[in-house]
Amino acid sequence: MLTLAERFNNAKKNIPEVTPAIDVISQPVIINQLSKNTIKINNKHKSGFTLTAYIAPEYSAFRLANDKQSNYDNRSGILKRESSDVSAAAGVLLGYKIKNEVTIQSGVTYSSSNINISPTKIYAEKENGGAVKYRYNKSFGYGYLLPSFNISPAVGDSLLSNGANHTLQYISVPIIIKYKSGNKKITFHPGVGVAFNFLTKATLTTDLEDRFNRETEYITKLESIKEFSASLVLTPEVQYQLSGNWSISAMPYFKYSLGAVNKGNVVKTYPYTVAIGIGATHRF
């Protein structure tokens, strides 16, 4: 016959182990809350796109090399009489983050530049069609003029151009690779790329005169200037973060033509531009 202690021990052995209960109600709530937080973090600037608008004063100049020989003009004469004004540029650029801190950026930019030309003599030459007109040579190209007071010049005749103003306008499509570094507020975005430039306007205005007459003349289309060119672009952009989605930028940049922008002129012209722009960027 079992004692009371033996009966108690046997009863204890037969009691099944109980697994701690799982809080099936609170667990999904916790998981759901963690999922919401994760989605919120992943959605922040999810698209990787940025949109930048900028304006900039530009200083444009050029390097000249001898090209077609002329009896009446040369490289040194053109360099001596031409000087560039500070010009204007503006643009809209769309950026996309492609890897870590690397962004590719492209868009559309507009630039307008003016070149002042001091007084010079111009000479009558045969144009391509065989007619004799006064040829005006400049760095980017040349054009022909025929004032009403002298419509039948002979080859070699001259007139005084009493100063001139030359205007150039371009629409450009840049493609730039930028790398981001810095802290949360101030970031540095050095970039390098290529700009494809499309000429939209090339005009020249001058006053021609002889001893008895003076008349304002216009060239609306330059000969020898190319309608398409490409430039190297360098930019050490600096951004300051205003809020989660907005920042402002100092956007200095340097552009240098990858080839001559004209052909068959007295000179080959390689323009370059230095600018300091101000921009605003929105992140999506």
Domain ranges of the chain: 47-283
Q: What is the mean pLDDT of residues 189-209?
A: 97
Contact present, 214 and 208 (Cβ < 8 Å): yes
Confidence of residue 11 (pLDDT cuts 50, 70, 90): low
| Radius of gyration from C-alpha coordinates of the chain | 35
Instruction: List, for residues 50-70, the tens digit of each pLDDT value.
Output: 999 999 999 999 999 999 989
Phi and psi at residue 45, to the nearest 5°: 55, 40
pLDDT of 264 higher than 60: yes
CA distances in angstroms from 11 to 14, 16, 156, 253, listed in the order given:
5, 10, 131, 89
Closest C-alpha to 262, from 240, 229, 233 = 229
For residues 195 and 63, give the distance between their C-alpha atoms in angstroms, rounded to a whole number: 18
Bridge-based pairing state of the strands 267-283 and 228-241? unpaired
Percent of the chain with pLDDT over 70: 84
**CATH for 47-283, among 1.10.10.10, 3.40.50.720, 2.40.160.20, 3.30.420.10?**
2.40.160.20
The residue assigned the tokens 């000969």 is: 223
